[in-house]
Structure 1
């Protein structure tokens, strides 16, 4: 596994009482490196990610795209030996940035030329995107439980305390799966918010926990279409984000019966706030005033 953080030297610039100050200091930055994903020996996708938990990441990517359903669908996921030839020595070396996945049931896979739809810049309209997700998902979202909104705030405070790479760099996103008591089941960080989500869903797939019907997904970023799509594919009924939600994420959540919560902001004293975009029935508001 590669580095998660790196060291750098930088200039600092401050203005205090109208006067300009400049200095130098050492700092940490989050590492961003490409991961070349190959499926059964053929190029599939290239993603920029923070190294670490790459096997979970790939399982999450493949599940989110409907290419695998269960842990047993993947025979092997391994880094490619000799993926790069060193310019100096001429010898092959392993960069740990190329991973090949071998599947047990290749009949599940579409043609290798298929393009992913999970980027916010894909150019397809909202209805086409939602229809494509509906065709791939195996799960419907449960409406059989509700959760106290204070549980979401407790989870948000806990997530902040577990963002170790963010605390050092300020440059990564986090995703967590949370049970209905507010316990964080797994936390993953990455420079890409969708990668962090893929890692936690990949973890759940490897742990045979899918569908994730009795927990919710919490992300430290905004919620775009691709995150709502990945949550729906994993059977997650509630998605909470620290920042805003995009219009297509709202449309997707509304269409599929998902509760989408934004601006989930928790204070240290237990107070906080949130905006509920869709399906508020999963939040227990029976004790609410006003």
Structure 2
């Protein structure tokens, strides 16, 4: 039998993300079963799991791959950054059309907004205010963009800042446009598992002249511990075509314009 063609690094990373999602969904899985499911050798699966474990995305324990607790999986930047990337990119491309030269933007720490950084080149005199260290680093290489990082209590797990220093600074800022995502959305209500992040989102909404929510289909139909209002606080929501119709209709019932994007 001829050897299999060597996969590109992108294809290997996609397989590893698929493995990660499978383990997260099942809690824990035998490594041999994962190798059979993804049709790779046991050695290859061990390499995949070693890579994911080195990034603290899962654990390898005595022949098994074990997921981290749900809260960590839902909120940790290292997990979220590689998920649903096509949908995130398409939503950010739609959001760029709402940004005008000379604007001040407020952007939260949602990895949904990370692809936006590479799309802002060519829009003159932009100021971006964010609590995300990761996004600030991405934006630092974009010419013409002035970045203000909201400092406060730093969370290494999420590579961003929260706390009274962040929310107090936001009371002194007026933004033309706020772009945010949500961890969980249920029938028009917005949720986050961590109180301090919900408070930052509320403060950003209060500082915005206009607010747009970007959330892919995976965010809908679920709730978390802390509610922070409804989608009615946004003028528009951008999502992908896989979002259930009942959820988008709940937004429209609240008077929120909904834009859906394809991910091809």
- TM-score for the superposition, normalised by structure 2: 0.31
Larger fraction in helix: 2
Higher relative contact order (CA 8 A, sep 6+): 1
- TM-score for the superposition, normalised by structure 1: 0.29
